[in-house]
């Protein structure tokens, strides 16, 4: 039997590593005649001590910051550490590393990503939180609304226009924004073996249209042809990608793949450098043992040009019962919000731990993921919330493992004997 103090998720403390200091130029100890450097040789690093110190401090601050950002995100997006790191790095690369161009003269290539995973596992929430961290405008666009330019529906111009609107009309701020194109798996190519009765305006044409923002360039939007620079824009696609795991499984087992354009045999894309040998002398590709690779997306139905511009494939895992319980008790969850309501009203309660264990199992077996979690938590706590608002003064409630509710609240004329109610409920309900 557990009281309403709940349990808090423990975030393992991480030791932040300070970047090692580059070795200082060693002074000459001999009196040998110095040879003048060739005018055609460009030094790799500045010999200005002030510049070196400034760069070192800046890199140190950035490294410390990205680690703290990740720890912050883990409080809200639970059980998806690897995918979270990948998407955070994408935004970090596009938003911050390119800021060093003025100091180092180096422009880092803009990166993109695709988030693959079931519904309700935190894909949209991750990207929204990342946009809040970097304080940039964010737009989520449903790919099912997109068609090729010139056809009924929305196109890339609509996405950019929405981003500019989210930036309050500030073009420069919008150019550093984050776009999340959800349900991209609904825009696979509908042609098969190159045969098509007409132009695929909902599949291939949309993928080709999206190349405008996936590839860093300057595009012109709106009727007045407003220039929009996408070199620092962060674009992330996402979707459920139903049955793509079967494509991966077939690839790993060497079986014919599934999908719209799946080859009958595996393409010879592997080399001896990518493999280790098992005890039977068979080649094992450790690089693709668990990760999705571009060939999986192509087999799923995306064109080569589209897949080639997606830098990372971030896989979101299906929620396990343990992860769901961590989400229930996470900081900022609906459960903890209601705890604060009870505490402010002077109400105490006892809930059987098996209630949350059963809910976690139900959520992990559902197709809706954490989206249905709040509803179930509210259903459990609703009777107590109702009594809390209806009665005057302090009170006590108990919920057993069958989610049966019983309570005793103070009124203006009587007080709740807490010892009596606990004894009575403990004997009446099966714990």
**What are 369-408's pLDDT values in tens digits?**
898 999 999 999 999 988 888 876 678 888 989 998 988 7
What pLDDT, on a 0 to 100 scale, did the predictor assign at position 223?
A: 84
Token pair in block for residue 104: 């180092």
In CATH terms, is domain 321-428 a member of 1.10.8.60? yes
* CA–CA–CA angle 397, 402, 403 (5° rounding): 40
Instruction: Identify the H or E element spanning 218.
Output: strand 218-221
Instruction: Say if CB 263 and CB 298 are below 8 A apart.
Output: no
Give residue 426's region: left, alpha or beta (phi > 0; psi -120 to 50): alpha
Rounded to 5 degrees, what are φ and ψ at 325?
A: -65, -40
Token pair in block for residue 254: 């060497």
Look up the CATH architecture of domain 49-191+200-318. Answer: 3-Layer(aba) Sandwich (3.40)
Rounded to 5 degrees, what are φ and ψ at 428?
A: -80, -40
Q: Kindly give, in sequence order, each residue whose CB lies less than 8 Å from that of residue 390, ignoring residues fewer than 6 positions away.
A: none
Ranges of each domain in the chain: 49-191+200-318, 321-428
Predicted structure pTM score? 0.73
**What are 51-83's pLDDT values in tens digits?**
656 656 665 666 668 888 999 999 899 999 999
Q: With a cut of 50, list the residues of the chain below it in pLDDT.
A: 5-47, 150, 152, 192-198, 261, 264-288, 417, 428-431
């Amino acid at each position: 039997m557990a009281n309403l103090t709940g349990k808090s998720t423990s975030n393992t403390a991480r030791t932040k590593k300070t970047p090692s200091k580059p070795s200082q130029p060693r002074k000459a100890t001999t009196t040998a005649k110095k040879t003048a450097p060739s005018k055609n040789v460009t030094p790799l690093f500045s010999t200005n001590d002030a510049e070196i110190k400034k760069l070192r401090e800046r890199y140190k601050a950035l490294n410390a910051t990205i680690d703290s950002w990740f720890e912050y995100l883990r409080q809200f997006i639970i059980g998806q550490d690897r995918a979270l790191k990948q998407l955070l790095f994408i935004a970090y690369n596009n938003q911050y590393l390119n800021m060093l161009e003025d100091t180092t003269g180096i422009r880092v290539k803009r990166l993109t990503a695709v988030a693959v995973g079931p519904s309700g596992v935190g894909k949209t929430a991750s990207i929204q939180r990342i946009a809040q961290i970097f304080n940039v405008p964010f737009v989520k666009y449903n790919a099912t609304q997109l068609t090729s330019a010139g056809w009924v529906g929305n196109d890339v111009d609509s996405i950019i226009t929405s981003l500019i609107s989210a930036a309050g009309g500030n073009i420069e701020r919008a150019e550093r924004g984050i776009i999340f194109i959800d349900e991209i798996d609904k825009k696979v190519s509908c042609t098969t073996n190159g045969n098509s009765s007409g132009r695929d305006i909902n599949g291939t044409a949309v993928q080709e249209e999206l190349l405008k923002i996936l590839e860093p360039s300057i595009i012109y939007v709106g009727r007045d042809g407003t220039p929009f620079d996408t070199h620092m824009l962060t674009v992330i696609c996402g979707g459920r990608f139903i049955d793509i795991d079967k494509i991966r499984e077939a690839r790993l087992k060497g079986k014919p793949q599934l999908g719209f354009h799946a080859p009958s045999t595996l393409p010879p894309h592997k080399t001896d450098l990518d493999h280790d040998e098992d005890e039977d002398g068979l080649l094992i590709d450790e690089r693709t043992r668990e990760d999705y690779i571009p060939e999986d997306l192509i087999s799923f139905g995306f064109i080569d040009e589209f897949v080639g511009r997606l830098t990372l494939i971030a896989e979101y895992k299906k929620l396990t019962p343990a992860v769901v319980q961590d989400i229930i008790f996470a900081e900022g969850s609906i459960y903890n919000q209601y705890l604060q309501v009870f505490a402010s009203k002077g109400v105490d309660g006892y809930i059987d731990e098996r209630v949350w264990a059963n809910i976690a199992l139900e959520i992990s077996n559902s197709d809706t993921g954490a989206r249905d979690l709040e509803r179930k938590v509210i259903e459990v706590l609703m009777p107590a919330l109702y009594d809390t608002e209806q009665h005057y003064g302090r009170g006590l409630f108990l919920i057993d493992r069958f989610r049966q509710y019983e309570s005793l609240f103070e009124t203006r004329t009587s007080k709740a004997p807490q010892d009596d109610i606990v004894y009575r409920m403990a004997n009446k309900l099966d714990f």
